[in-house]
Amino acid sequence: MGGMRSKLTTLRWRNGILYLLDQRSLPLRKKFVRCRTYADVAKAIKEMTVRGAPAIGVAAAYGLALAAKSSRRYGKAKQLEVVRKAARVLASTRPTAVNLFWGIERVMKKIEEAAGGNESLYKVALNEANKMFNEDIEANRRLGRYGASLLPERCIVMTYCNAGALATVGYGTALGVIRAAVEDKKRVTVLVPETRPKLQGSRLTAYELEVEGIDYRVITDNMAAFVMSKGMVDYVIVGADRVLARTGHAINKIGTLNLAVLAKHFNIPFYVAAPLSSFDFKSDVEEVVIEERSEEEVLSVNGRPISPKNARALNPAFDITPPELITAVITEFGIYSPKELISLSERQ
């Protein structure tokens, strides 16, 4: 499989083990979590050791390879049973990002096809996971080039959460656009909302930009209207955990809808950057399950309480931005208005 494609390694397969950069402890500590079983991968996705729609799609694919590996001494029927169970477990970790289901489906299709033959199911799964790994970087780079073409020589871009190398295999979607613009010698300053409760902005996006030497400022999420009202934001570019191709809705980290409404109010272009692996060509908006995470994430920071002892909280992990608030969607096949997305179904 491919070597280092950026200064950051989100996930790495080596000697039959999946290594995941532990995103819970960044930027203070850089350490890797070893996944030797599919259960390790499921746990890592659930606990957000690895996060970001494209990254968890590829991690789940490697999870299936691990399931096929651990069961490769059994008969094929039994092995298939193990891998199918792994697929169910992995699919149940997080309900919203579509890449997870896409990654699992892609590998399972290859495995089911190969089940009758002589090929090693482990090899089949691993090949497909490696293929997805490489395709993800490639798709991000192409998406980044399309997006960069939208940006002038000098601008201030607000992004959100982390849609960077850490959310993908290695280049990023929204941050991929910014990376590509900087590679073109454009002078981009990035405004980074911290993205409570898990602080993917101030922890992960700031870390990536720091590593790359790209100019940025962290803001708290509630400062977005202020900076927009002061004319300090030229573009908003966010990633997506799921894009509904039929209607043009974008499901992304909680708070994205805030920014989309504000951008509309202040007449700032609002772009969603997402590869086709994040597209859902089937679902209607009513069918999307918004993950509710533990109240504890809101009521504490870094494990320390910030609220009264018996406080209650809400913790929806995602929100839904309707097409009328989205200027365009940047994909690896070009830039599309939300209404045109369905035409991408032939690219699947």
Which residues are known catalytic residues? 241
Instruction: Kindly give, in sequence order, each residue whose CB lies less than 8 Å from that of residue 149, ignoring residues fewer than 6 positions away.
Output: none
36: helix, strand or coil? coil
User: In the set 265, 282, 339, 347, which binds a copy of itself (CB under 8 A)?
Assistant: 265
107: Cβ–Cβ under 8 A, 6 or more apart, which residues?
Answer: 60, 61, 64, 65, 87, 125, 128, 129
Tally of residues, the chain: 348
Binding segment for a copy of itself (CB under 8 A), chosen from 81-89, 150-158, 209-217, 274-282, is 209-217
Q: Of 138 and 291, which has the nearer Cβ to a copy of itself?
A: 291
Among 89, 320, 335, 342, binds a copy of itself (CB under 8 A): 320
Distance of CA 14 to the CA centre of its chain: 22
In this structure, what token pair is assigned to residue 73? 């001494």
Would you list the DSSP string of 224-257? HHHHHHTT--SEEEE--SEEETTTTEEEEETTHH
Whichever of 129 and 325 has its CB closer to a copy of itself, that residue is 325
220 belongs to the binding site for a copy of itself (CB under 8 A) = yes
**CB contact burial 68-100 (16+ within 10 A = b; e otherwise):** bbbbeeeebeebbebbeebbebbbebbebbbbb
For position 307 contacting a copy of itself by CB under 8 A, the verdict is yes
Which positions from 8 through 67 interact with a copy of itself, judged by CB under 8 A?
A: 27-28
Which residue, 151 or 238, has its beta carbon nearer to a copy of itself? 238
Q: Is 310 in the site for a copy of itself (CB under 8 A)?
A: yes
**Which has the closest alpha carbon to 277: 238, 314, 240, 224?**
240
AA identity, residue 96: T
> CA 20 to CA 32: how far, in whole Å?
5
Number of residues that bind a copy of itself (CB under 8 A): 53
Tell which one of 30, 231, 305, 348 touches a copy of itself (CB under 8 A).
Answer: 305
Closest distance to a copy of itself from the beta carbon of 226 (Å): 4
CB 66 within 8 Å of CB 18: yes
Q: Are 275 and 54 in contact (CB under 8 A)?
A: yes
Per-residue contact string for residues 242-261; x = within reach of a copy of itself by CB under 8 A: ------------xx-xx-xx
Is residue 332 classed exposed, middle or buried when 0-12, 13-18 and 19+ CB atoms within 10 A define those classes? buried
The yes or no reply on residue 214 touching a copy of itself (CB under 8 A) is no
Q: Does 219 bind a copy of itself (CB under 8 A)?
A: yes
Considering the complex, state which of residue 11 and residue 257 has its C-beta at the smaller distance from a copy of itself: 257
| Nearer Cβ to a copy of itself (1/313) | 313
Contact segment (CB under 8 A) with a copy of itself among 116-124, 142-150, 215-223, 340-348 equals 215-223
Nearer to a copy of itself, 121 or 157 (CB): 157
Strand-pairing partners, residue 271, are: 237, 328
- Residue closer to a copy of itself (CB basis): 52 or 197: 197
Touching a copy of itself, residues 166-195 (CB under 8 A): 193-195
**Using CA atoms, how far apart are residues 300 and 170, in angstroms rounded to an integer?**
30
DSSP 287: G
Q: Note whether 210 binds a copy of itself by CB under 8 A.
A: yes
Q: What's the closest the beta carbon of residue 298 comes to a copy of itself, in angstroms?
A: 6
Chain residues in the site for a copy of itself (CB under 8 A)? 27-28, 193-197, 199, 202-203, 206-207, 210, 216-227, 229, 254-255, 257-258, 260-262, 264-265, 298-299, 301-302, 304-314, 316, 319-320
